[in-house]
Amino acid sequence: MNNKLMVKVWIAILATAIILLGVGAIYIHDNLSTYFIYYAKHIPHAEGTNPEMVFILDHLDSMGESTIEGLRYDTDGYNAIIKDGNFSLRHKSFDNSAQYELSFHEDYHTYLFDRSGKFLSYWHLDEDDEGVYEKSEVRKSEAQGYIDEVTNPIVEKLEIKPKVNLQWLFNKKYQERFSDE
């Protein structure tokens, strides 16, 4: 074979490899984005973390309008899920340690969560209008009950098993966030 032909063959092989890698990367990204609820539900995680809540809030703007009765999505600014106008579960905007919050609209009660969805504390105003933080198991259990009211219907409705299961890749990418720190 002459040199010109060899160069053309190598260029064709290289171009094919680049195209295949690009298509593969796009497919992987699309797969992980489309089936994130399934993957979040099945990721190994430390006790107390809440990957479903985290991924639903992180991907809320790509989920479209809510078709679940009693739930409304607000993606203007910080992603939020509003439950019957009573309380909302959303990204938290102003505290470095807390990444997510569940707050009641009427009486200023708020549950705070870290970046893995782990309960941090409960905040409310006492009789003297002083802010009080609590970290009791009772408050943690209450918070989980409210989160379940919001996330369980979403998971039930939108969880789709992927045709090509890339759980191992999802785990590799995100599991450290939900492990004991």
User: What type of residue is 147?
Assistant: I
Alpha helices (H) along the chain: 3-34, 36-42, 51-58, 137-158, 167-174
pLDDT at 96: 64
Q: What is the DSSP letter of 134?
A: E
Contact present, 157 and 68 (Cβ < 8 Å): yes
User: What type of residue is 149?
Assistant: E
Taking 50 as the pLDDT cut, the residues of the chain under it are none
CA–CA separation, 159 vs 151, rounded Å?
Answer: 11
pLDDT digits (tens, 9 = 90+) for 132-176: 888 999 999 999 999 999 999 999 998 999 999 999 999 999 999
pLDDT at 85: 81
Of 103, 81, 79, the closest CA to residue 91 belongs to 79
List of residues 6+ apart from 139 with CB closer than 8 A: 111, 119, 121, 122
The sign of the torsion formed by the CA atoms of 104, 107, 108, 109 equals negative
pLDDT at 1: 63
pLDDT at 181: 56
